[in-house]
Amino acid sequence: MSNINLTNRSTDKKPSGQFPHLFGQHFLDDFVQNFSSHFPFVRETPAKGDSKLDFVDPKVDITENKKAYTLTAELPGLDNDDITLDLSDGILTLSGQKNYENEADKDDNIHMMERSYGSFQRSFSLPVSVDQDAIKAEFKKGLLKVTLPKSVKAQELQRKIEISG
């Protein structure tokens, strides 16, 4: 037996997020999801209880400049072969699998397991300004960087509007 005191994070009631005492994390996640649905990238939300959600969603950053959008996803511990990036009907889907690698002997006791394993899937509706034929992806050091160039026409239509006062 071990004298190590462990707590289970899923049942630990410690507050998290920016508003820990006012709202639960799920409320904040839903608020951000609903609010962000008005932006160019709309996240497609799979049904609750989907077996592909055993793995925690990869964290994603989306940035924009005059020529392109860039989607960067954290995928630590994965290789190129573990990741799939699909494009269909203007929906970009990132999916993959992180397998558990058991290095412990049968007689070893596992005292803590915080890392996540299983499959994952995230989908994003692309803005119409993206040139879908020119999308490129690169995977290095656990980061997937997807470059989503804007079409020439979309770049030409960008302009600053003067505000009179």
pLDDT digits (tens, 9 = 90+) for 82-94: 999 999 999 999 9
Which parts of the chain fold into alpha helices (H)? 25-36, 152-157
Pick 108 or 52 by higher pLDDT: 108
- Domain 41-103+116-157 in CATH 2.60.40.790: yes
* Torsional sign, CA 10, 14, 17, 19: positive
Residue 55, CA distances (Å) to 65, 73, 100, 103 in order: 31, 14, 11, 20
Give the strand pairing for 118-125 and 91-98: antiparallel
pLDDT of residue 37: 46
| Token reading at 147 | 């470059």
Among 49, 9, 8, residue whose Cα is nearest residue 25: 9
pLDDT of residue 57: 77
Cα 129 from Cα 102, distance rounded (Å): 45
- Predicted structure pTM score: 0.62
Q: What are the residues facing 137 on neighbouring strands?
A: 146
pLDDT of residue 152: 86
137 φ, ψ to 5°? Answer: -135, 145
pLDDT of 34 > 80? The answer is no
